[in-house]
Amino acid sequence: MSVKILALGFGLVILFSVLELIRKEKLTFKYALGWLVIGIVAIFSSIFETVIFKTASFLGFKLPSNFIFFSLLSVFILFSLLLTVFLCQQNNRNDLMAQKIGILELEIEKLKRKINKE
Protein backbone atom coordinates (compact mmCIF):
# COMPACT_ATOMS: atom_id res chain seq x y z
CA MET A 1 0.00 0.00 0.00
CA SER A 2 2.80 2.42 0.88
CA VAL A 3 4.31 1.90 -2.60
CA LYS A 4 1.02 2.98 -4.11
CA ILE A 5 1.04 6.19 -2.03
CA LEU A 6 4.68 6.83 -2.96
CA ALA A 7 3.97 6.39 -6.68
CA LEU A 8 0.86 8.54 -6.48
CA GLY A 9 2.75 11.23 -4.59
CA PHE A 10 5.55 11.23 -7.14
CA GLY A 11 3.08 11.50 -10.03
CA LEU A 12 1.34 14.42 -8.34
CA VAL A 13 4.67 16.17 -7.68
CA ILE A 14 5.59 15.89 -11.38
CA LEU A 15 2.19 17.10 -12.54
CA PHE A 16 2.08 20.07 -10.18
CA SER A 17 5.70 21.03 -10.86
CA VAL A 18 4.97 21.08 -14.57
CA LEU A 19 1.78 23.10 -14.06
CA GLU A 20 3.63 25.54 -11.81
CA LEU A 21 6.45 25.92 -14.37
CA ILE A 22 3.90 26.64 -17.12
CA ARG A 23 2.14 29.16 -14.85
CA LYS A 24 5.43 30.96 -14.20
CA GLU A 25 6.14 30.82 -17.97
CA LYS A 26 9.37 28.89 -17.44
CA LEU A 27 8.08 26.05 -19.65
CA THR A 28 6.34 26.63 -22.95
CA PHE A 29 3.42 24.39 -23.78
CA LYS A 30 5.27 22.74 -26.69
CA TYR A 31 7.88 21.31 -24.33
CA ALA A 32 5.55 20.85 -21.34
CA LEU A 33 3.14 18.58 -23.20
CA GLY A 34 5.28 15.45 -22.89
CA TRP A 35 5.82 16.05 -19.18
CA LEU A 36 2.09 16.59 -18.57
CA VAL A 37 1.36 13.27 -20.24
CA ILE A 38 4.03 11.54 -18.14
CA GLY A 39 2.60 13.02 -14.93
CA ILE A 40 -0.95 11.97 -15.79
CA VAL A 41 0.13 8.44 -16.79
CA ALA A 42 2.09 8.11 -13.52
CA ILE A 43 -0.93 9.13 -11.43
CA PHE A 44 -3.31 6.95 -13.45
CA SER A 45 -1.12 3.87 -13.16
CA SER A 46 -0.50 4.33 -9.42
CA ILE A 47 -4.27 4.39 -8.82
CA PHE A 48 -5.20 1.61 -11.24
CA GLU A 49 -2.20 -0.67 -10.74
CA THR A 50 -4.13 -3.70 -12.04
CA VAL A 51 -3.98 -2.12 -15.52
CA ILE A 52 -0.18 -2.32 -15.33
CA PHE A 53 -0.23 -5.92 -14.08
CA LYS A 54 -2.60 -6.97 -16.87
CA THR A 55 -0.69 -5.17 -19.60
CA ALA A 56 2.59 -6.63 -18.31
CA SER A 57 1.34 -10.21 -18.38
CA PHE A 58 -0.38 -9.62 -21.74
CA LEU A 59 2.94 -8.46 -23.25
CA GLY A 60 4.75 -11.43 -21.70
CA PHE A 61 6.73 -9.72 -18.91
CA LYS A 62 7.39 -12.11 -16.03
CA LEU A 63 7.37 -9.28 -13.48
CA PRO A 64 5.25 -6.11 -13.66
CA SER A 65 8.28 -4.15 -12.36
CA ASN A 66 10.23 -5.20 -15.49
CA PHE A 67 7.43 -3.80 -17.58
CA ILE A 68 7.52 -0.52 -15.66
CA PHE A 69 11.30 -0.20 -16.03
CA PHE A 70 11.08 -1.04 -19.72
CA SER A 71 8.36 1.54 -20.36
CA LEU A 72 10.17 4.25 -18.40
CA LEU A 73 13.46 3.61 -20.21
CA SER A 74 11.80 3.63 -23.64
CA VAL A 75 10.04 6.89 -22.90
CA PHE A 76 13.22 8.55 -21.66
CA ILE A 77 15.32 7.37 -24.59
CA LEU A 78 12.75 8.78 -27.00
CA PHE A 79 12.60 11.96 -24.96
CA SER A 80 16.35 12.47 -25.06
CA LEU A 81 16.42 11.82 -28.81
CA LEU A 82 13.79 14.52 -29.22
CA LEU A 83 15.79 16.85 -26.98
CA THR A 84 18.90 16.24 -29.10
CA VAL A 85 16.92 17.21 -32.18
CA PHE A 86 15.78 20.42 -30.49
CA LEU A 87 19.35 21.09 -29.37
CA CYS A 88 20.67 20.74 -32.94
CA GLN A 89 17.93 23.00 -34.21
CA GLN A 90 18.85 25.63 -31.62
CA ASN A 91 22.52 25.24 -32.44
CA ASN A 92 21.88 25.78 -36.17
CA ARG A 93 19.75 28.83 -35.43
CA ASN A 94 22.43 30.27 -33.13
CA ASP A 95 25.12 29.79 -35.76
CA LEU A 96 22.95 31.37 -38.44
CA MET A 97 22.37 34.32 -36.12
CA ALA A 98 26.10 34.69 -35.43
CA GLN A 99 26.82 34.71 -39.17
CA LYS A 100 24.06 37.24 -39.84
CA ILE A 101 25.33 39.48 -37.03
CA GLY A 102 28.83 39.34 -38.52
CA ILE A 103 27.54 40.21 -42.00
CA LEU A 104 25.30 43.00 -40.67
CA GLU A 105 28.19 44.54 -38.74
CA LEU A 106 30.21 44.64 -41.94
CA GLU A 107 27.29 46.24 -43.82
CA ILE A 108 26.91 48.88 -41.06
CA GLU A 109 30.63 49.59 -41.21
CA LYS A 110 30.43 50.01 -45.01
CA LEU A 111 27.48 52.42 -44.67
CA LYS A 112 29.28 54.44 -41.99
CA ARG A 113 32.32 54.81 -44.22
CA LYS A 114 30.09 55.87 -47.12
CA ILE A 115 28.37 58.53 -44.99
CA ASN A 116 31.69 59.85 -43.68
CA LYS A 117 32.97 60.25 -47.23
CA GLU A 118 29.94 62.29 -48.36
CB of 89 to other proteins, least distance (A): 14
Measured from the CB atom, the residue of 57 and 94 that comes closer to other proteins is: 94
Residue 83 CA to residue 80 CA, distance in Å, equals 5
- Which helix (H) or strand (E) segment holds residue 94: the answer is helix 64-117
Total residues contacting other proteins (rule CB under 8 A)?
10
Measured from the CB atom, the residue of 4 and 100 that comes closer to other proteins is: 100
Measured from the CB atom, the residue of 33 and 104 that comes closer to other proteins is: 104
CB of 1 to other proteins, least distance (A): 52
Contacts (CB under 8 A) with other proteins, residues 52-111: 95, 98-103, 105-106, 110
CB of 92 to other proteins, least distance (A): 9
Give the CA-trace dihedral at 17, 19, 21, 25, to 10 degrees: 180
- Which helix (H) or strand (E) segment holds residue 14: the answer is helix 2-23
Evaluate whether 37 touches 72 at the Cβ level (below 8 Å): no
CA angle 33, 21, 40 (to 5 degrees): 45
Interface residues with other proteins (CB under 8 A) are 95, 98-103, 105-106, 110
